[in-house]
Chains A and B, each alone.
Chain A
Amino acid sequence: MAIIEVKDLSYKYPGSSKYALRDISLNIDEGEFVVITGPSGCGKTTLCRCFNGLIPHFYGGEFIGDVIVNGMSVKNTPITILSKYVGMVFQDPESQLFSLNVEREVAFGLENLGLDREEIRFRVNEVLELMGISHLRNRAPFELSGGEQQKVALAACLAMRPKILVLDEPTSHLDPVSAYSLLNLLNELKNKLKLTVVIVEHRLEALVAVCDKLIIMNEGKIVFNEDSKTVFSKENINSIKGIGIGIPKVVELYHNLLNSGFTLRNIPLSPKMFKEYLLEVVRK
């Protein structure tokens, strides 16, 4: 069941002469883990903003076509309603944490919804526990490390119990270990809370093995929308390289071996998978 349906979407920012999104159509099913990637300026961030109504309601501009999120038309539904179903985590931790206290930060969205105090308190405790950051409850967000800050931002979204979580380059400012930690946590939460996750990222190594679909955009259009193995297949790999995507080394290795006559059963998406496929071939 498609929880997000994009129908022939084209979009131009106000004052711009170029279309940032051109004729985009795609479906994301409930419970899917989708990664959107592409070179800078390809429109991936713009597309994200269409999922919770920031486009067109906050940014204005020319919005052609429509996006249906959880059965609601984005064009005709205000952000105040869409944001109940779609949580969004942004790239820069500093700009999305406005309180001086983690607890209050997480409560912010719930306060906006006018929930009563007991409910707010309950949900704040619940989500802090879930994310393993209860010990940070009274700390000031700007005292925390980048990784912790993003966890707080994530908690603040999850407290609102969205069905869909959209993350725009959430690990951009994080070091590799914090990045992996956040993404692993995200995967766990997705399963626990039965979320649909859409994440925009450049660094694909940690994600290609766990995502259901890898969407590649270029110049405002969707170029690929398949599972990772299909995207990186022999038929597609050269166009992927042409677009300028950071191909995980393990995939590069697969193709290198292929060109040298050494074929694995399928495209490995992680070192562990590589070992598995390699040993299969060797043991024959």
Chain B
Amino acid sequence: MMTLKAFEFKRGDTIIHRLDPRVKFLLSISFLALSFIYSNLVMLLIFLLTIIPLFYFAKSLENYLKSLKGALLFIILVSALNYFVSGLYLALTITLRLILLMSSFSIFFMTTYPEDFALMLVNIGVPYDFALTLTMSIRFVPTLAREAQIIIDAQRSRGLELEKGNFMVKLKNYIPILVPLIVNALRRSMSVAEAMESRAFGASPKRSSLVELSFKREDYIALLIIVFFTTIMLLLKFYFHIEDSLNLYLFFTG
């Protein structure tokens, strides 16, 4: 559950929050691309260390670290699997890549209003309805999390013990949790749809918006930095073959 916090929007008025979502999205995509283009451990680590300060500036560092902790089990699982299949180096590389993946989108979602995310999607041509579905889902994640907790409490109060039993028993025990959760989610979606219709949803084919996405000075600067950084990294990889040099260095220093 804690891992979800990585993608939960947390309000704030930091420099990262104020950046245009398109710029932040470009940041996420760039890091995503770089984390796949590169397979060198040192480089991947450098990328991660570049992203982490951004969380600090977004005042979301605590939530980010908490969510990493939550995902720890999954991360360890993946590492272990890869360790046994391909050895330590590759295991570490893949683990780091996983973390980078998560982090590069985490910074986006943690600092962007879901509605701005929708605006961005519409801006690049995604139909409004689709963008809305996405942002609604995001908006209701904390609600669902809260409901899940209530449901767990209610069923535990009827003697349900989630910790006991073997794997099959444990799985079966989640039915009394999942069924109410899903049924309520469906019910809620009807209520939400009702409320939206009652506020003239779909009235005008050309929907206007209170907020408008526009680039400010900080956005241009950030854009420049991202493009510059990514270009340098691409050059280092494909022109200067830095990975080979690093590997050679590591090889020689054992």
- Using a CB–CB cutoff of 8 Å, the interface residues on chain A facing chain B are 52, 54, 58, 79-81, 83-84, 86-88, 90, 92, 94-96, 98-101, 103-104, 107-117, 120-121, 124, 140, 142, 156-157, 160
Q: How far is the CA of A95 from the CA of B184 in the complex (A)?
A: 11
Q: Which residues of A contact B203 (CB under 8 A)?
A: 80-81, 83-84, 112-114
Collect the chain B residues with CB atoms within 8 Å of residue A160's CB.
Answer: 199-200
User: Counting CB contacts under 8 A, is B1 at the interface?
Assistant: no
> Within 8 Å of chain A (Cβ to Cβ): is B201?
yes
* Given pairs A92-B191, A114-B207, A160-B200, 16 additional interface contacts (CB within 8 A): A54-B198, A58-B197, A86-B198, A88-B195, A90-B194, A90-B198, A96-B195, A99-B139, A103-B210, A107-B210, A111-B207, A112-B204, A117-B209, A117-B210, A120-B210, A160-B199
With the chains together, A160 CA to B198 CA distance in Å?
11
Per the CB 8 Å criterion, the residue count for chain B at the interface is 32
Show 9 residue pairs from A and B whose CB-CB distance is below 8 angstroms, ordered by the A residue: A54-B197, A83-B200, A108-B196, A110-B208, A113-B200, A117-B212, A120-B208, A121-B210, A142-B143
> Chain A contact residues: over half helix, strand or loop, or mixed?
helix
B21 at the interface (CB under 8 A from A): no
Question: Does B254 have its Cβ within 8 Å of any Cβ on chain A?
Answer: no
Tell me whether B143 and A83 are in contact (CB under 8 A): no
Report chain A residues within 8 Å CB of B202: 80, 112
CB atoms of A112 and B143 under 8 A apart: no
Contacts of B113 on A, CB cut-off 8 Å?
A: 100-101
| Assembled-state Cα–Cα distance A103/B105 (Å) | 27
Is the pair B9, A84 in contact by a Cβ cutoff of 8 Å?
no
CB neighbours (8 Å) of B204 from chain A are 112-114
Q: Give the complex CA separation of A83 and B196 in angstroms.
A: 10
Q: How long is the Cα–Cα vector from A157 to B114 in the complex, in angstroms? A: 22
Interface residues of B in 65-101 (CB under 8 A from A): none
In angstroms, Cα B202 to Cα A278, docked, is 56
Contacts of A98 in B (CB 8 A): 136, 139, 192, 195-196
- Within 8 Å of chain A (Cβ to Cβ): is B115? yes
B210 near A104: Cβ-Cβ < 8 Å: yes
A35 to chain B, nearest CB (A): 20
Contact B115 A115 (CB under 8 A): no
Residues of B within 8 A of A117 (CB): 208-210, 212
Contact B114 A100 (CB under 8 A): yes
Residue of A nearest to B203 (CB): A80
Judging by beta carbons under 8 Å apart, are B198 and A87 in contact? yes
Question: How distant is A149 from chain B, measured CB to nearest CB, in Å?
Answer: 12
The minimal Cβ–Cβ distance linking B174 to chain A, given in whole angstroms, is 24
Report whether A156 and B11 are in contact in the complex, using a CB–CB cutoff of 8 Å: no
In residues 154-203 of chain B, which contact A (Cβ within 8 Å)? 188, 191-203
- Chain A CB within 8 A of B142 CB: yes
Interface check B124, CB cutoff 8 A = no
Q: Are A104 and B195 in contact (CB under 8 A)?
A: no
Cβ of B211 under 8 Å from chain A: yes
Is B217 in the interface zone, CB < 8 Å from A? no
Cβ-based interface call for B206 (8 A): yes
Chain B residues lying within 8 Å of A156, measured Cβ to Cβ, are 199
Q: How far is the CA of A109 from the CA of B46 in the complex (A)?
A: 46
Contact of A54 among B143, B194, B209 (CB under 8 A): B194
Please indicate which of the listed interface residues A81, A88, A98 has the most CB atoms of chain B within 10 Å of its own CB: A98
In the complex, what residues of A have CB within 8 A of residue B188's CB?
A: 94-95
Q: Which residues of A contact B11 (CB under 8 A)?
A: 100, 140
